[in-house]
Chains A and B, each alone.
Chain A
Amino acid sequence: MATSTAPPHASSGQPRGGPGAPREALRDVEALRDVVVVAADRTPFSRAGRAYARASSQDLLAAALDGLTARTGLAGERLGTVVAGSVLRHSTDLNLTREALLSSALAPTTPTTDLAMACATGLEAAVIVANAIRVGQIDSGIAGGADSASDAPLVVGDDLRRTLLAARAARSATQRLKALAGLRPSAVRIEAPRNAEPRTGLSMGEHAALTAAAWGISREAQDELAAHSHHALAAAWDGGFFDDLVTTYLGLRRDDVLRPSTTVEALAALKPVFGRDLPADQPGAASMTAGNSTPLTDGAAVVLLASRAWAQERSLPVLARMVDAEAAAVDFVTGTDGLLTAPVYAMPRLLDRIGWTLQDADVLEIHEAFASTVLATLAAWESEEFCRERLGRPALGAVDRARLNPVGSSLATGHPFAATGGRVLATAAKQLHRLATSRGADDDDATPDRKPRALISVCAAGGQGVVMALEAA
């Protein structure tokens, strides 16, 4: 595989300084235990309102847990923890992960934690579980998430809610009537959760459109990325890549967002849905369509992490080692950063800490919230000007596009918010395992003297993002 042109700083022993300097405390990192990705499972992902129209997040999460338990033979076993969450939460989901666990085949003595970090929930859950394993608190744990856009909670308006609460608190029938009498017809309205940022009022798509315009991301490039995602995912399914990563659920065998036969031409015919109010002469304006954005999706994904010894004791294979992770957040409200650009900042911090370059990644998984998000992220890392001014360092450089989302990503799988982190982590780990296995098998290959590496980047609502580094086990 040809490597892309490395940026000058990559090979010139660039002295680390400023924001990229390694932190003092991390010198003890050697004392920490290895954390490995043992196995993973997810449901096939389904466009909202289809196969899983009647399934809740809890059902989906339990199904993914059961698939993972079966694959690893862990039924009845107590694990160190299960950390998972969902983005679209019902008020009754106060113990979502716990309830899902109790529906699953795992031992009911396994403790759980609910976690929320918008679309980065699943990946952040993995960071939390991994860290507990690294320091020796636990030996094994599951990280993941589930979301059902079909089963989204509806909320009554504040006026109606306050009136109903007052009526419930009333001590007599008269008081109760009095409380209810205060109700105005206008108060009776139902609020569905919206994909909008509370502080800007803009939907995520509109935010992404601003970023696309700012970086001049063309419609063609976005459609090409989307077509690649579908084609790569279809090939992966056909090749059996997901045989040990996905368990069928409610009769669905594959991701139903996937359109194997889509083409750049077909995608080009779609009407823009975001950024239509932007000046038309601006490059990248009105370039985002339903084809190069992710649809609302239902699904769940979980990943089993453990210490090496734990996996070995159970004769379980290991797919990859989790090296490190970094979270970042940007000021998208008053600042100039785009809502979904936090990984732009997180990645160089992670790379500098572990001494990798962006080009070290044999696999680069960038969550495709929108095609433009991926392209804007890459553009930022390539821009000398941006990296100098905003990151205080030379550009991270270009990446070999063959290494970018090699088996497709969210545009083709769909994006059940909290489930995406688990999906991406599993996909990256499996690819590393495959690369390591095929390199080991082929001695004639000019094998680089290091294990295959992967980098993961997931952006999230609220201007946040999480990135992670993995290495073949």
Chain B
Amino acid sequence: MAPATRPRDLYAELVRTGPGAALARKAGLPRPALLRRFEAGAPLLVGPALVLTVGSGASAFRTREAGGALASLLTRAGADVQLELAEQGQRLGAVVVDATGATDVGDLAALGLALGPAVRRLAPSSRVILVGRTPGDDDVEAAAVQQGLEGITRTVGKELRAGATANLLRLSSGAGAAELAGPLAFVASPRSAFVDGQVIEVARSAHDDDARDALSRSERPLEGAVAVVTGAARGIGRATAQVLARQGAHVVVVDVPAASGDLARTANGVRGEALALDVTAGDAPARLAEHLGRRLGERRLVVVHNAGITRDRLLVNLDAARWESVLAVNLAAPLRLTEALVEADLLGGGARVVGVSSTSGLAGNRGQANYAASKAGVAGMVRALAPRLAELGGTANAVAPGFIETEMTAKIPPVLRQLGRRTASLQQGGLPVDVAETVAWLAEPASVGVTGQVVRVCGQALVGA
């Protein structure tokens, strides 16, 4: 069977033509930009990165280098760093602010005033990255100020145009450059094209050596990992398998036997292997554990619980079958499979569990009580799992896709579909590859500081942010 062609966003295509763009500009209609996405060999940023330091308190980074730790991390990641905004010249690829020392209310205004001129100079598909601290309870004003960074980030995200994004990385106590390096490189890179308006907590890890080691071989950071992706016959699952393989993982793709033809195509395309398995079957956890036990060897395991279904009805019309099937696939299966892998001792050193939540789960969505329950449940699952995996340097996180152009969202009625696309800051739906890139980033050794979190891949959707 020919693979289904990706649903097209005809509006976005129209306003990217000359006359279409002129018309949209006149009428004040949204003009979604063509997002810059990963391309092998392409530079990290479209222009130089301006690094600013704001705050009356001490920075979290104990370094006396010019520009501090952020400048050196960005340089290592391949950016051309500037410490002052040049009078004129090339448009900026990014503005990155060390606001870890922002402790006074006045620091917020200072940050905004410093950011303004830089934002004016941003190039299309550029990045605004704030680095702050996780608000604590020892200093009330500092906590308030740090929380304030969130408001600035999310607002800037909504004001930016032309495919630029704004995100906040927040260091928790003790976390430093080693843990920050991976997340910083990701939000700066085109791999995070549809990650916008997000707050990502970066925690201290006893295994930050992993992160340091990883950075030195960042070309294929998943080399030596075996990644399992459920629901990988099509859509986001297939894209995830492709990106994980591109990043060096050996991929085992799983889907129901009825989808085995498409699954084989996914597997062969990434030189991985196919396992036809209904994740809700009683023996599925045992079979998956057995299969991986045989194949894993010394390699670390990445598990991506992507398989998911929808059975939409208003709550008052939801019957037992619709509740049970959605909960079984979307929530019970990830729980059971993870449990079996833990028991079989397969989630050892450096393991990664990535759940797939949904903005519908986080914000609620009319007609999706069952789906939202399951997807919010996934967020709870990874939060509870994270401390258990942390001892061995493992992490558990979830991605929460917003409106992604897949066969699933192609079934949404046209008006709602347009709303879903245009109400995001990036004014468009994301692509399966956008979710896949985020999953693959969470799977990297360098993401060891990110755990127990839900990272939305939603173009800063109006809901669920």
Give residues in A with beta carbon < 8 Å to B: 63, 66-67, 69-73, 75-76, 105, 240, 242-244, 246-251, 253, 315, 317
Which residues of chain A are near B5, meaning CB under 8 Å? none
Question: Interface readout for B257-270 with A: 1 if CB under 8 Å, 0 if not?
Answer: 11111111111111
Which residues of chain B are near A67, meaning CB under 8 Å? 260-261, 264, 274
In the assembled complex, the Cα of A117 lies from the Cα of B265 at a distance in Å of 31
**A316 — nearest CB in chain B belongs to which residue?**
B294
Which residues of chain A are near B6, meaning CB under 8 Å? none
**Cβ of A362 to closest chain B Cβ, rounded Å:** 23
Whether, in the assembled complex, B86 has its beta carbon less than 8 Å from a beta carbon of chain A, the answer is no
Contact B261 A71 (CB under 8 A): no
Whether, in the assembled complex, B27 has its beta carbon less than 8 Å from a beta carbon of chain A, the answer is no
Number of chain B residues close to chain A: CB under 8 A? 28
**A41 — nearest CB in chain B belongs to which residue?**
B264
**Of B261, B262, B265, B281, most A-chain CB atoms within 10 Å:** B261
Contact B260 A248 (CB under 8 A): yes
Give residues in B with beta carbon < 8 Å to A: 1, 250, 252, 257-277, 281, 294-295, 297
Q: Given A75-B271, A243-B277, A315-B297, decide whether A66 and B1 contact each other with a Cβ distance below 8 A.
A: no
**A104 — nearest CB in chain B belongs to which residue?**
B268
Contact B297 A243 (CB under 8 A): no
Contact A75 B258 (CB under 8 A): no
Contact A73 B260 (CB under 8 A): no
Contact B264 A247 (CB under 8 A): yes
In the assembled complex, the Cα of A247 lies from the Cα of B297 at a distance in Å of 27
In the assembled complex, the Cα of A250 lies from the Cα of B270 at a distance in Å of 21
Contact B276 A73 (CB under 8 A): no
**B293 — nearest CB in chain A belongs to which residue?**
A315
Q: Given A70-B273, A72-B273, A73-B273, decide whether A105 and B260 contact each other with a Cβ distance below 8 A.
A: no
Which residues of chain A are near B267, meaning CB under 8 Å? 69-71, 73, 75
Q: Given A247-B260, A248-B258, decide whether A71 and B297 contact each other with a Cβ distance below 8 A.
A: no
Contact partner, A243, options B250, B252, B257, B266, Cβ 8 Å: B257
Contact B257 A240 (CB under 8 A): yes
Which residues of chain A are near B262, meaning CB under 8 Å? 248
**Cβ of B442 to closest chain A Cβ, rounded Å:** 24
In the assembled complex, the Cα of A69 lies from the Cα of B264 at a distance in Å of 8
**A43 — nearest CB in chain B belongs to which residue?**
B261
**A249 — nearest CB in chain B belongs to which residue?**
B261
In the assembled complex, the Cα of A317 lies from the Cα of B267 at a distance in Å of 18
Contact B261 A73 (CB under 8 A): no
Which residues of chain A are near B263, meaning CB under 8 Å? 70, 247
In the assembled complex, the Cα of A246 lies from the Cα of B267 at a distance in Å of 15
In the assembled complex, the Cα of A243 lies from the Cα of B273 at a distance in Å of 14
Contact B261 A247 (CB under 8 A): yes
In the assembled complex, the Cα of A242 lies from the Cα of B257 at a distance in Å of 9
Contact partner, B276, options A66, A244, A250, A317, Cβ 8 Å: A244
Contact partner, B268, options A66, A248, A250, A251, Cβ 8 Å: A66
Contact B258 A253 (CB under 8 A): yes
Which residues of chain B are near A105, meaning CB under 8 Å? 268-269
Beyond A73-B252, A73-B272, list 9 extra A-B contacts (CB 8 Å). Answer: A66-B265, A70-B266, A73-B267, A73-B273, A75-B271, A76-B271, A242-B257, A244-B276, A248-B260
Which residues of chain A are near B281, meaning CB under 8 Å? 240
In the assembled complex, the Cα of A73 lies from the Cα of B257 at a distance in Å of 17
**Cβ of A227 to closest chain B Cβ, rounded Å:** 26
**Cβ of A283 to closest chain B Cβ, rounded Å:** 44
**Cβ of B1 to closest chain A Cβ, rounded Å:** 6
Which residues of chain B are near A244, meaning CB under 8 Å? 276
In the assembled complex, the Cα of A73 lies from the Cα of B267 at a distance in Å of 7
In the assembled complex, the Cα of A75 lies from the Cα of B295 at a distance in Å of 16
**Cβ of A111 to closest chain B Cβ, rounded Å:** 20
Contact B268 A70 (CB under 8 A): yes
CB-defined A-B contacts under 8 Å, sample of 8: A66-B264, A67-B261, A73-B252, A75-B268, A75-B272, A244-B276, A248-B258, A248-B260
Q: Given A75-B268, A244-B276, A251-B1, decide whether A315 and B295 contact each other with a Cβ distance below 8 A.
A: yes
Contact B273 A248 (CB under 8 A): no
Which residues of chain B are near A71, meaning CB under 8 Å? 264, 267, 273-276
Which residues of chain A are near B297, meaning CB under 8 Å? 315
Which residues of chain A are near B271, meaning CB under 8 Å? 73, 75-76
In the assembled complex, the Cα of A247 lies from the Cα of B269 at a distance in Å of 16
Which residues of chain B are near A76, meaning CB under 8 Å? 271
Contact partner, B1, options A75, A243, A250, Cβ 8 Å: A250
Contact A248 B294 (CB under 8 A): no
**A63 — nearest CB in chain B belongs to which residue?**
B261
Contact B294 A317 (CB under 8 A): yes
Contact B268 A69 (CB under 8 A): yes
In the assembled complex, the Cα of A240 lies from the Cα of B278 at a distance in Å of 10
In the assembled complex, the Cα of A242 lies from the Cα of B260 at a distance in Å of 11
Contact A243 B276 (CB under 8 A): yes
Contact A315 B294 (CB under 8 A): yes
**Cβ of B451 to closest chain A Cβ, rounded Å:** 30
**Of A72, A240, A317, most B-chain CB atoms within 10 Å:** A240
**B257 — nearest CB in chain A belongs to which residue?**
A243
**A66 — nearest CB in chain B belongs to which residue?**
B264
**B250 — nearest CB in chain A belongs to which residue?**
A73
**Of B250, B265, B272, B276, most A-chain CB atoms within 10 Å:** B276
Contact A70 B258 (CB under 8 A): no
Which residues of chain A are near B260, meaning CB under 8 Å? 67, 246-248
**Cβ of B226 to closest chain A Cβ, rounded Å:** 11
Pick the 5 closest A-B CB pairs, nearest first: A73-B273, A105-B268, A70-B264, A70-B267, A70-B274
**Cβ of B185 to closest chain A Cβ, rounded Å:** 30
